[in-house]
Structure 1
Amino acid sequence: MTIVDACTRRREGGSPTAVLIDDSTLSDSSRRAIVRRAGTSHAAFVDADAETTPTVRFFTAHGELTNCGHGTIAAQAFLLHRRRIREHRVRQRTGGRTFDTTAIQRDDGIEVWFDQGTVELQGGTAAGLDSILGALGITSNDMASDDAPCVASPGTPRLLVPVRTLPTLLAMRPDLRRLAADCRRLGYLGCFVYLLSPTRRAASARMFAPAIGVGEDVVNANSTGCLAAHLFATHGHRSIDVEQGHTAGRPSSVFATATATTEGISVRVGGMATIRSRGVDHRVSPMSFG
């Protein structure tokens, strides 16, 4: 088992992610148990035998995920480090989708980018908005006046919620049980709550996803890609740098760029990663790295 800090900011913070060479004899319940043993919110299981198109599966203690943005960054950083090269460009197979990735060794860590694909934005008022806001512990008065909540999906829908002030964002203490029930009922992965900078080129954000067993995610890279698509559609901005993880004491950063294509808004997501620990045998080690 290797622990990778994904989406670090100036070599600090990031989301601790367990990365392992997958074992085909493992059951999914064993993979979930490994996540609990690791003490991380997520784990990436990599089929490293496929040199150019590895299959990567992502698990939380709750179950398997269709995809995971910061997990992809961790997995590709792990593969680059394992191969002892400075750069690779490979494709990754996850959740029935195959996409391009790039990993480059930099002085301050491993820089990883991946093709998130097309992000679908749903128009109109988000379903169940009042109930979701109540579960988050905020009201419509706390939301930004020049932006609006949006349901965005790179494969799994999630609700993007813009707030007016940084104190509102940092003080949020959602009712996680209620939020989990609402998200499951409405089909949302979770809620990505964000505050835009005046230029709309940067943001601070928090991700709550109790419906998949993650009360608050240190980093959610796929939701950053969704925000990039939303800002491109509404304001024409092509890139965003989103700070996350401050309330967890793990300052983190995710980058995303959006482009118009014939199929819709396509997004690339990137972040820095640091290999924190290596060579832990998940079969015998009782250690927690959280």
Structure 2
Amino acid sequence: MNGSAAAVLVHACLRDGTGGSPTAVVLDDDRLSDEERRRIPVEHGTSHAVFLRPERETETAHGRPAFRIRFFTSGEELPACGHGTVAALALLANRAGEEGEYRALLRTSARTFEGLAVRKGAALVNAAFDPGPVDLRPASAEERSLVLSALGVAGADAGPDARVAGVGRERLLVPVRNRSVLAALDPNSGRLREVCDHLGFLGAYVYSPPSPTGELAARMFAPSIGVPEDIANANSTACLAAHLADRGINRIAVDMGDAVGSPATITASVHPEPTGPRVLVGGTATIGTSHTWVRG
């Protein structure tokens, strides 16, 4: 490697203080190449790596710090990563060491948005952010059929209201009959990648019916970006929250990660505003105690 950076392992979207999605968060000196950034998830055994570069404080009344944020898997750079954003905010709040609410502006190539985090004692941080407007449309018959076939979901086990949803890249939201159907899924990963590449989808987010209080389970399959199954997918959960809000469900808590041995929970809420519904999505994270240095 030609660059150097400090990487911190953050477990994002914990369930009851354990599990979560391990994410490498790198305080980036901007000397790593993109090829080097793609290696970091592999070296650290994570699905994603997040890269933060400090920028000047913004000219706001509160002087919130601003950071350029980028997301990588082993295969490519992503325009967004929800659990990666939770991990980044948790690390920033922990480093700031402030009591109360920590707020920062995060900049991607496409947008600038605010994230917030609150420390919970010495070990845990609650973090949340607005992923931006969610685009929703009904899935076509071809989209639904191709994805269900690759997932191995029988027609009787799938709900009729599959939706194509996007915050950045599109993905298919696939309802199934119950948690047992969800747990038994064993997709053909190669076929699902071909289908998602053909349709231009990030992947398929499969979910069980929500309880009256908004609890449900989900699994996210994204082989097109090198992630056969994601432990925690916050942006897809935000998409689902926007979809379920039309049915009067404004808060959800989604269990993920059980099938890959790392239980995670993501929360999302929908808030009406004059410009349209605003989604907040997030979770609880814990910061690794050891730092790993990536040297050139």
Alignment TM class, shorter chain as reference: over 0.9
User: 1:109 corresponds to which residue?
Assistant: 124
SS at structure 1 position matched to 2:54:
coil
User: 2:16 corresponds to which residue?
Assistant: 10
The residue type paired with residue 272 of structure 1 is T
SS at structure 2 position matched to 1:255:
strand
Runs of 5+ consecutive residues of structure 1 not aligned to the other structure: 285-290
Given candidates 85, 93, 114, the residue that maps to 1:80 is 93
SS at structure 2 position matched to 1:130:
helix
User: 1:288 corresponds to which residue?
Assistant: none
Q: Distance in 2 between matches of 1:100 and 1:126?
A: 37
SS at structure 1 position matched to 2:130:
strand
Contact 1:6 1:16 in 2 (8 A): yes
Contact 1:206 1:244 in 2 (8 A): yes
Deviation track 1:35-70 (CA, whole Å, cap 9, x = no partner) reads 211110000000135451111100000010001000
1:41 and 2:54 are equivalent in the alignment: no
1:160 and 2:180 are equivalent in the alignment: no
User: 2:267 corresponds to which residue?
Assistant: 255
How far is 1:90 from its partner?
Answer: 1.4
TM-score (norm 2): 0.90
The residue type paired with residue 258 of structure 2 is H
Higher alpha-carbon deviation: 123-132 or 30-39: 123-132
1:194 and 2:207 are equivalent in the alignment: yes
How far is 1:75 from its partner?
Answer: 0.4
SS at structure 2 position matched to 1:275:
strand
Q: Distance in 2 between matches of 1:22 and 1:213?
A: 23
User: 1:98 corresponds to which residue?
Assistant: 112
How far is 1:184 from its partner?
Answer: 1.0
1:138 and 2:153 are equivalent in the alignment: yes
User: 2:3 corresponds to which residue?
Assistant: none
Runs of 5+ consecutive residues of structure 2 not aligned to the other structure: 1-6, 58-64
1:206 and 2:219 are equivalent in the alignment: yes
Q: Distance in 1 between matches of 2:151 and 2:77?
A: 25
Change (3 A) 1:114 1:169: same
Q: CA RMSD in A?
A: 1.6
Contact 1:119 1:265 in 2 (8 A): no
Contact 2:139 2:162 in 1 (8 A): no
How far is 1:28 from its partner?
Answer: 0.3
How far is 1:216 from its partner?
Answer: 0.2
1:246 and 2:252 are equivalent in the alignment: no
Q: Distance in 2 between matches of 1:50 and 1:282?
A: 25
The residue type paired with residue 46 of structure 1 is L
SS at structure 2 position matched to 1:205:
strand
The residue type paired with residue 220 of structure 1 is N
Change (3 A) 1:124 1:216: closer
User: 1:55 corresponds to which residue?
Assistant: 68
SS at structure 1 position matched to 2:292:
coil
Change (3 A) 1:197 1:96: closer
How far is 1:136 from its partner?
Answer: 0.3
Given candidates 271, 278, 285, the residue that maps to 1:273 is 285
How far is 1:82 from its partner?
Answer: 1.6
How far is 1:163 from its partner?
Answer: 0.5
SS at structure 1 position matched to 2:232:
coil
User: 1:19 corresponds to which residue?
Assistant: 25
